[in-house]
Structure 1
């Protein structure tokens, strides 16, 4: 299992919430960040999660693919954030 998804599961985040979070990520990354903050994951785990993603950004793609979502939408959302 993808380590990002494993952290969510470890904190009893439902499959529905995880799918909604990644769907939001594909549409509006800023909203996804706010949603992550509302999931009740302790700050130290969020820091660990962010560290993993910063060291290995491919984890996001792996999680999106594992959830059966379209990674091209993540790339399009990321492009919107570029100045």
Structure 2
């Protein structure tokens, strides 16, 4: 299992919440940060999660594919952030 998804599941984040989170991530990455903060994940695990995202961004693509979402939206969101 993708380590990002594993951390979320470890903290009892439901499949629906995970899909919503990644959907938000593809549409508005900044809003996703707020959503992540509201999931009740302890700060040390949240830091680990954010470290994974920053150090291994390919894990986001893997998680999106594993969830059956459209990765092209993630690429578009990334491009918008770089503007």
Normalized against structure 2, the TM-score is what?
0.96
User: How many residues are treated as equivalent by the alignment?
Assistant: 83
Task: Return 5+ residue gaps in structure 2 as ranges.
Answer: none
The equivalent of 1:74 in structure 2 is 74
1:62: Cα distance to partner? Answer: 0.3
* Partner Cα distance (1:41, 1:62) in 2: 21
Matched, 1:37 2:30: no
Task: Return 5+ residue gaps in structure 1 as ranges.
Answer: none
| Ranges of 4+ aligned residues in structure 1 off by more than 4 Å | none
Moved more, 53-62 or 15-24: 53-62
* Partner Cα distance (1:45, 1:39) in 2: 11
Aligned-residue CA RMSD (Å) = 0.7
